[in-house]
Structures are given as C-alpha cells and as structure tokens.
C-alpha cells in the first residue's frame, strides 16, 4: 500500500515537471472551455522564408577585417574562432544554435558566431572554408528553427 502511494507520488511529480516545460502557443475558447495547444519549449517550429548565403575569411567577403588576423586565426564578432561548416553570421543573439531545413529535406546545424553589415532579418550567412565553397551557398527559401537559444 505504501509502495503504491510512493509510486503515485513519483508519477505526479514527473507529470508536473513535464507540464512546466510546456508553453501555450495557441489558446482557443470554445464555449466556456479553454483549450490550449502546447508545444514543448525545446521543440521550436521551423519558420519558412529564410535565405542563406555563404562567406569565407577572404578580403572579398570580409573587407578590412581580413587584414588583421595574427596567425591566420579568424574570429567572429562573438570573440569565438570561426569554424568552417559550422559557424554562421545572423541577426540573432550570439551563441544561438539554428537548424536549417533545405528543400531536399536535409538538415544542417549552425551556431551564430558572427554578425555582418548585410545580415539582417531572416538571413543566415554561412561561414565556409574557401571562397569557392562560399559562392556555392545560395538558397532563397529555406526553413530555419532555433534549436538552442543562448
Ligand atoms: Zn571569400
């Protein structure tokens, strides 16, 4: 009997913890009953209409910032060393981890390590190893979601 009571308490505790992590995103009122569409905070929805470009460390891409790089180390505006294929510039808080859903269904994760004068709104500029690779990046309508806010 006591064991059952303890188990019941554990189940209630787990249920309550789960409810706390959910946020109501859409509230409906039907008659006097409130319905709530919930979405777990760690699963944010994709948002369409983003566009993606590429850049590298060269003077064509970085202008005067390409001139002063002791040891060839490339830092983003975040102060972190830029990682080709992983870092990106965006109009989002530094350290945000985003997921890009491409038209072919592939998904790519990037971390916001940099900002850019031409990077505003729904635009991601992906940091690549070479200028050729950067030129290959160009998508007009991709979906992006915030995977992790800093
Ligand atoms: Zn370049």
Instruction: Give the pLDDT confidence of 121-145 residue by residue, as tens digits.
Output: 999 999 999 999 999 998 888 999 9
Cβ-contact 51, 140 below 8 angstroms: yes
- Centroid of ligand 1 to alpha carbon of 76 (angstroms): 14
Instruction: Name which of 127, 129, 124 is nearest 141 in CA terms.
Output: 124
pLDDT in tens, 35-52: 655 555 556 789 999 999
pTM of the model: 0.71
Average pLDDT of the chain, as a whole number: 83
Position 132 scores a pLDDT of 97
Cα–ligand 1 centroid distance for 111 (angstroms): 19
Give the rounded distance of the alpha carbon of 138 from its chain centre: 18
| 79 CA distance to ligand 1 middle (Å) | 20
Handedness of CA 91, 101, 50, 123 (dihedral sign): positive
Domain ranges within the chain, ordered by starting residue: 2-39, 47-148
Ligand 1 centroid distance, CA of 66 (Å): 10
CATH says 47-148 is which class?
mainly beta
Residue 85 predicted with pLDDT over 50: yes
User: 61 CA distance to ligand 1 centroid (A)?
Assistant: 4
């Amino acid at each position: 009997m006591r064991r059952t009571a303890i188990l019941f308490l554990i189940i209630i505790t787990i249920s309550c913890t789960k409810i706390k992590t959910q946020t109501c995103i859409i509230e409906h009122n039907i008659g006097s009953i409130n319905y709530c569409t919930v979405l777990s905070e760690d699963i944010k929805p994709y948002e369409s209409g983003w566009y993606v470009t590429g850049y590298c460390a060269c003077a064509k891409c970085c202008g005067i910032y390409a001139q002063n790089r002791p040891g060839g180390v490339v830092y983003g505006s975040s102060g972190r060393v830029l990682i080709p294929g992983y870092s990106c510039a965006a109009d989002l808080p530094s350290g945000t981890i985003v997921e890009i859903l491409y038209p072919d269904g592939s998904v790519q994760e990037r971390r916001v390590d940099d900002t850019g004068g031409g990077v505003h709104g729904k635009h991601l500029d992906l940091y690549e190893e070479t200028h050729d690779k950067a030129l290959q990046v160009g998508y007009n309508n991709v979906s992006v979601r915030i995977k992790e806010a800093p």
